Amino acid sequence: MQKNSVQLKPGKEKAILNHHHWIFSGAVSRLPKFSDGEILPVLSSSGVMLGSAYFNRKAGIVGRMVTFDSESPLDAIRKSLEAAANYRLSLFNSGDTNAYRLINGEGDCLPGLVVDRYDDVFVVQISTLGMEKLKPLIVEWLKGKFSPKTIYEKSKISSRKEEGLEGVEGHLYGEEVQEVEIIENGLKFLVDVVGGQKTGFFCDHREMRKLIGNLSCGKRVLNCFAYSGGFTVYALAGGAANVVSVDISGEAMEQAMKNVSLNGFQAVPNSFRAADVFEFLRKEPLDYDIVILDPPAFAKRQKDVVAACRGYKDINRIAMQKMPPGSWLLTCSCSYHVDEELFQKVVFQAAVEAGRMVRIAGKHIMAPDHPVNICHPESDYLKSLLLYIQ
């Protein structure tokens, strides 16, 4: 038995044998002396080699697997990076779409790492100490694979606290870039990589934006929690009669106006409302053919779930009460702790309280650059329901 290895308790190897990446502290029978963030071999209770993981005593998820065999862990990480890149390069024509998620954590067998590509600007987000220690390898690989103009880190997420990490943000390589223009399905967007939310743009809703574009011809559209106007631009490109965008951030509304103008549409100032969406929904008549509710995560921790469900029910109930018969509601949740089943139950309760007949016409269409590892379903976080309001 290797002295510097981690040994699991009897019966706790099943998840690892099924290629699940997480090792909880309660599954470990023996830890060697090691530095937090170090990669160590993982053994079953009987001493069988299961693979390698990086470990952190401070975290509830004490280990995260990077390989499930005896291969060198650094070699396995490089192979996972290459496989992720080659998969994305097979998906997208850079002339039509040059912005996508390049690395999607466990979905690409690289727990703790997200990389979004915006043309020749790459934004890195690291959530774990083990991946933090691998940052030099990640940066060198990105440089060698893509010769980027800029690599920017935006690791300011709450989950880093449990890992004993502070939030980090700044340029890692290349030119200091604030904003980059991208193309998505032939439409143009300006992405604020420094001041924008998350990594700057929400590539995960690409397919749902396309769906709204296809539904919008001649329609009156309300885009709530509009951020930089992704759904707004698609609706206009789809021939919407008019689109009203609402977000609490004035800066987001300014960015949305820029994106509308960038695509040759008129950015009418009173169609962009810097307002609290809850108050807007309560006060306005909502005489729209399509309403989009795409809020930020209401539940960032498990203990927030009850309050989050109350928020989801409120905004959906108010919208359903006021929307005209024959209209469409696209309602979304990116709260990891509110799963698809619970979200649908909350929307059902909203429909009952609103006294409306509501039919589910569609569900979330996953963007293929955000793959979910079938062995690690916890990384599936985004839910959408397309509802027909009678």
List, in sequence order, every residue forming a beta bridge with 115; answer none if it has no partner: 103, 124
- The DSSP bridge pattern shows strands 39-43 and 22-24 to be unpaired
Rg of the chain on CA atoms, in Å: 22
Q: Which CATH architecture has domain 202-389?
A: 3-Layer(aba) Sandwich (3.40)
Fold identical between 6-67 and 202-389? no
Element (H, E) at 244: strand 242-247
Domain spans of the chain? 6-67, 73-181, 202-389
Catalytic choice (203, 309, 334, 375) = 334
* Tens-place pLDDT, residues 249-280: 999 999 999 999 999 999 998 899 999 999 99
For residues 106 and 191, the answer to whether their CB atoms sit within 8 Å is no
Known catalytic membership, residue 375: no
Q: What tens digit of pLDDT does each residue of 269-308 get? A: 889 999 999 999 999 999 999 999 999 888 777 888 898 8
Q: Say whether pTM exceeds 0.85.
A: yes
DSSP string, 58-105: TSSEEEEEEESSSS-HHHHHHHHHHHHHHHHHHH--TTT--EEEEEEG
* CATH number, span 6-67: 2.30.130.10
Tell me which residue of 62, 69, 33, 32 sits closest to 48, measured CA to CA.
Answer: 69
Q: What region does 389 belong to: left with phi over 0, alpha with psi -120 to 50, or beta?
A: beta
What is the average pLDDT value for the chain, to the nearest integer? 95
pLDDT at 2 > cutoff 80: no
Q: Which superfamily does CATH assign the domain made up of 73-181 to?
A: RNA methyltransferase domain (HRMD) like (3.30.750.80)
